[in-house]
Amino acid sequence: MSEPLNPAPRVVVVGAGPAGACLALMLARAGVAVTLVEASTSLQRQFRGEALMPSGLEALAAMGLSHLLAALPQRPLQGWRFVVNGRHLFTAREPLGGDPQRPCTLVSQPALLEALLEQASPSPCFALERGQPVVDLLWREDRVVGVQLRGGRQLEADLVIGGDGRSSLLRQKAGLELVGAPSSIDLLWFQLACPEPTPLEGCFTTLVGAAGVFSAFESAAGGVQIGWVLEKGAPVPALASDGWIERMAGFCPPELAAWLRQGPAGLSAPTRLAVQVGLAAPWWRPGLLLLGDAAHPMSPVRAQGINMALRDAWVASVHLVPLLRSGATGDALDGGLAAIAAERQPEITALQQLQAAEASRGELLRDQAWLRCGLALAAPIVGPAVAAHWIHQQQPLRQGLAALPAPP
C-alpha cells in the first residue's frame, strides 16, 4: 500500500540498525507514517556483526527481503574450524546438517542497512532523519509521546521504537533497568588487510592456546577480521602489530602461522568491544517499545545480535501493522507492545543462556592446560566425536528457538 491510512498514528523509530531499519520499512510498506531517526550520517561502525544464521535468514525471508542479499558484499561461510595448541581438532562444514538453502552467510551489515533504507525511501509514508541524535523523550503524563533531537527540534509520535543499541539512551531515559547477565570477557577486534585466497579457506576459525583464545574469518567486504578474547576489565597488551602477529601465530598450525607473518603491516590497531549482556525489564513503557540490542544486548558468541534483531523486527511488524493501520492508540496500542515483548523474551532468554554455556566451555579449554594438551594429542581420534557433539549443540543458536508468526 502506498498511501497512509487515516487516522494514521505517527511512529518514530530511533536507530537505523537491523531492527529499526527493518521495522521502519515494514511499517512504511503497510501505509503507516514512520520517521526513522539515525544519530550518525554514516552506518559504518568499528564493529558490526555480519553473520546471518538460518534464524536471521528466515526473518529476512518472512519480510520479503531475501532478494536484497544478492546485490550486497557477501560470502557463504564454508565451515567452522577449531585449532587447539596449534593442532587441528575438527572442521564442521556448512550448513551443519540443516537447510542447504540457508547456510550461515556473511554479509556487510552497513551495505544491508543502506539497502533497507533504499527500499524504504520511495514510500511517501517514510521519512529519514540522518545525523540527528535524540537527546530526550517527550512525555505527556506517564506516556511517551515523541523525542527531542539535539538542537531542540521535537518529533511528536503516537509510538516511539527504540532501536538505538546496547547503550540505548531511550532505555535510560525511560527508566528501564537492564538486568545484566555477567560476562567475563571483552573482545579486541582487529582487521587484517590481505589478498585472497587465505589459508582460512572460508572457515570461521577459532584457535585456543596457552596465551588465550582468538577467532579469525574472511570478512564479507574483504580482508580478515580477528577477535581476541580478553578478560573483562583487563588492560590491552601493549603490543605493536608485529607483536600481535607473533602472539597469534603461536596458536596456529604452521601454514597459517607462516601466512600471518607475511602481512603484519596490514593489521589494524585493536578496538576494544566491551561485551554487555542483559535484558531490559520490561521492554516497553506506554508509547515506547525497545527492540534489538536496546532491549537485549547479546554476547558476540555465534553472532546472535543481528539475527535476533531481525526476528524482533518481524514479530513487531506482525503485531503493530494491524493496530497502527486501524488507528489504535493508548491502551490498545500498549497491549500490542506488551504482546511483542512477551512473544520475544523467551527466545532471547534461552539463547543468552546458551551463549553463556558456550563461552564457559571456551574459558574452560583456555584455562585447563591438561584438557588442551589431551585434545591436541588425541585430535585424530576424538575430533569426529567432538565435532558431532558440537554440531548438535549449535542447532538452537543457528535455527532459533521460536516459530516466527505468519504475516498479518
4 pLDDT tier (thresholds 50, 70, 90):
very low
- Beta bridge partners of residue 11, listed in sequence order: 34, 159
Choose between 265 and 6: higher pLDDT: 265
CA distance between the termini of the chain: 14
DSSP state of 95: T
pTM of the model: 0.94
Torsion of CA 217, 218, 219, 223, to 10 degrees: 120
CATH 3.30.9.10 range(s) for the chain read 185-274+368-396
Least confident range of 142-151, 216-225, 330-339? 216-225
Task: Using DSSP, state whether 61 is helix, strand or coil.
Answer: helix
CATH code of the region 11-73+108-181+276-355: 3.50.50.60
* Residue 322: alpha-carbon gap to chain centroid: 28
| Tens digits of residue pLDDT in 88-123 | 999 999 998 766 667 899 999 999 999 999 999 999
CA distance 347 to 340: 12
* pLDDT computed for residue 5 by the predictor: 44
Q: How far is 189 from 50, CA to CA, in rounded Å?
A: 14
pLDDT for 195 beyond 70: yes
CATH 3.50.50.60 boundaries in the chain: 11-73+108-181+276-355
Mean pLDDT score, 241-247 = 93
Percent of the chain with pLDDT over 90: 80
Q: How does DSSP classify residue 41?
A: S
User: Do strands 288-290 and 212-218 pair parallel, antiparallel, or not at all (unpaired)?
Assistant: unpaired
Q: Residues of 249-258 as b/e, b for ≥16 C-beta within 10 angstroms?
A: bbbbeeebbe
Considering the four listed CATH numbers 3.40.640.10, 1.10.3720.10, 3.40.50.2300, 3.30.9.10, the one that applies to the domain covering 185-274+368-396 is: 3.30.9.10
